[in-house]
Amino acid sequence: MASILDKVDVHDAGDKIILSSDDEVTLKYVVEEMRKEGAEGIQVPVKVGSKWVASFEHPALSQCTVEKLGFVIIIAGHTEESVLARRAHTSRSRRSRQGRLRRWWEPRAGPARAPATPSPASA
């Protein structure tokens, strides 16, 4: 027996999940089920060419916390994929440059230091 989801294509677009289908009724049903399961930022189905397309916020975005400490933005989440999705969403919405992703266990990059020169007494 075929599932109703076999008639719907699912695409991960970073901060959005995009659904498309040839059948409007099927897509509306899937969108309504996603709404019942707590999906946020739902865009209702619209016809684009011969397909019907809808989208909703990527669930991974809601699993992350964002803290702002001065000029530093800290994004914490359960998976690297969710942090990267939230980072892309935050950067686009704030029109800021993306800094390097640093995992909590990596040392911070400090200022470059000149190597110590031997003193004449030790030579």
Which pLDDT belongs to residue 105? 59
What are the backbone dihedrals phi and psi of residue 2, each rounded to the nearest 5 degrees, phi first? Answer: -80, 140
- In this structure, what token pair is assigned to residue 99? 């800094």
Which pLDDT belongs to residue 96? 46
Integer CA distances (angstroms), 25 to 1, 14, 21, 34, 57, in order = 19, 26, 9, 14, 21
Q: Tens digit of pLDDT per residue, the chain (123 long)? A: 667 778 899 988 877 889 999 999 999 999 999 889 888 889 999 999 999 999 998 777 777 888 888 888 888 888 887 788 777 766 655 544 545 556 655 665 555 555 556 656 655
State which amino acid sits at residue 99: G
Neighbours of 108 (CB within 10 A): 5
